[in-house]
Chain A
Amino acid sequence: MKHNLILRFIAKFLFPVIALFAFYVQFHGDFGPGGGFQAGVILSVAFIFYALIFGLKTTEQVIPPQVLRVMASAGILIYAGTGVATMLMGGNFLDYNLLSQNPIAGQHLGILLIEVGVGITVYSVMLIIFFAFAEKGRP
């Protein structure tokens, strides 16, 4: 669809909107519906949309698959690392109260960190699956 001006324009216009909504869902999950899982899915959808219009090659330049591979592991490491950090501070695994002087602030920080980890892993795994299938189907 390289020569379709309308599609390309709409895609360029919608991509930041979808991405922004994903970040809203990610960081507003404490107060409204949503969280890391949904945010990761929505952000990956923005990239898949981009790939459908501009082609797989261009998208691979925007976000190289090798980077995705690292990101998928990094997200899970952030999650488990938060748990290990609380253990090193003398508490139980994933006991966020210890992350800060104030237990509530610790909880906020812990939930934020693990939601970011969830978001990164879900985002990269969804794109990895899409890239793998799309690459295979390319003639």
Chain B
Amino acid sequence: MVDTLIDISLLAFLAVTAIAIIKIRNLFVVIMLFGIFSLHSAGLFVVMDAADVAFTEAAVGAGISSILMLATLALTKDHEEKQPAHHARIPLLVVLITGAALVYGTYDIPSFGDPDSPAQQHVKPYYIEHSVEETGTANVVTAVLASYRGYDTLGEITVIFTAGIGVMLLIGGRLFRRSKNGDER
């Protein structure tokens, strides 16, 4: 009962925040709302017992990405330009059809926590049963991320590294050069 109430209120907040993000044109407010949106998502992940995901969402989504977006905002204008007035019929139609297709698709999705769903049947039972004896790690999420799926995590880190290189090359300027005398220019 309480769980359902928490679920409903969190999802309602999520929907309200999403609508506000679409409506509001002041980008500073939008960034703050993005942070609130992430925090609500983190709350939902906690309700679904995904503590690791919630942790990441709260730290990255609500924390650092807000700061980085604010830093970006300092370089641009903080007000979104008004959209030109035009008929929204065709976009509306596309959105309605896509939405209907997605809702239709949800009928085939197994319900939350269904033990017979493919996600629970494949390698998950093996990880849950053997991760402690094979890796000695109490947190099965860490065992999967760092040991069983080490390749994927290496790939993720490479993605983050690439993002850093991209930002450094595009707007890093003199900040990351080895010499400050300018002889490398």
Asked if A and B bind, the verdict is yes
Interface 1/0 per residue, B37-61 and A, CB below 8 Å: 0000000000000011011100110
1/0 per residue, CB under 8 A from A, across B47-81: the answer is: 00001101110011001100110011011000000
Decide: B161 and A129 in contact? CB cutoff 8 A: no
Main SS at interface, chain B: helix
CA distance A128 to B136 in the complex (A): 35
Chain A residues, Cβ within 8 Å of B151: 93-94
Give the size of the chain A interface in residues (CB under 8 angstroms). 55
Contacts of A66 in B (CB 8 A): 176-178
Q: Is the interface of A mostly helix, strand, loop or mixed?
A: helix
Known A-B contacts A69-B176, A137-B71; the reply to A132 vs B167 at CB < 8 A is: yes
B164–A125 touching, CB < 8 Å: yes
Do the beta carbons of A133 and B64 come within 8 Å of each other?
no
Q: How far is the CB of B28 from chain A (nearest CB, A)?
A: 14
A-B contact count (CB 8 A): 153
Q: Would you call A98 an interface residue if the criterion is a C-beta within 8 Å of the partner chain's C-beta atoms? A: no
* Known A30-B138, A32-B139: A41·B68 in contact at CB below 8 Å: no
Please tell me if the beta carbons of A42 and B171 are within 8 angstroms of each other in the complex: no
Using A128-B172, A131-B172, A133-B75 as known contacts, list a sample of 17 further A-B pairs with CB atoms less than 8 Å apart, ordered by residue number in A: A29-B139, A30-B139, A33-B141, A34-B55, A66-B177, A73-B161, A76-B158, A76-B161, A79-B153, A96-B135, A107-B147, A111-B142, A124-B164, A125-B163, A130-B67, A132-B173, A136-B75
24 chain-A/chain-B pairs, Cβ below 8 angstroms:
A30-B137, A31-B137, A33-B54, A35-B52, A35-B142, A35-B146, A41-B56, A41-B64, A65-B175, A76-B154, A76-B161, A79-B154, A83-B150, A104-B136, A110-B147, A111-B146, A125-B160, A128-B172, A130-B67, A130-B71, A132-B168, A134-B74, A135-B173, A136-B171
